[in-house]
Amino acid sequence: MIELYSPAEIEAMRPAGRFVAATLSELSKVAAVGVNLLELDELVARRIKEAGAVSCYVDYHPSFGASPFGKVLCTSVNDAVLHGLPFDYALQDGDLLSVDFAAEVDGWVADSALSVVVGTPRPEDLRLIDTTTRALEAGIAAAVVGNKLGDVGHAIATVARGDGLGVNTQFGGHGVGRTMHGDPHVPNDGRPGRGMKLKPGLVIAIEPWFLHTTDEIRYDPDGWTLRSADGSRGAHMEHTIAVTEDGPIVLTARD
Annotated binding residues for a divalent metal cation, written as ranges, equal: 100, 111, 174, 207, 238
Residues placed in the known binding site: 83, 100, 111, 174, 181, 207, 238
Whether the Cβ atoms of residue 20 and residue 255 lie closer than 8 Å to each other: no
Are the CB atoms for 107 and 178 separated by under 8 Å? yes
What are the binding residues for substrate? 83, 181
Integer-rounded Cα Rg, in Å, for the chain is 17
How many residues comprise the chain?
255
Q: Are 186 and 204 in contact (CB under 8 A)?
A: yes
Adjacent-strand bridge partners of 234: 211
Whole-angstrom distance, CA of residue 85 vs CA of residue 71: 7
Residue 15's DSSP bridge partners are: none
Beta bridge partners of 197: 148
Alpha helices (H) along 57-141: 123-141
Angstrom distances, CA of residue 85 to CA of 150, 169, 175? 31, 21, 23
What contacts 251, CB < 8 A, 6 or more positions away? 10, 13, 14, 16, 17, 110, 203, 239, 240, 241, 242
Distance, CA of 209 to CA of 149 (rounded, Å):
17
Sequence-distant (≥ 6) Cβ neighbours of residue 247 within 8 angstroms? 144
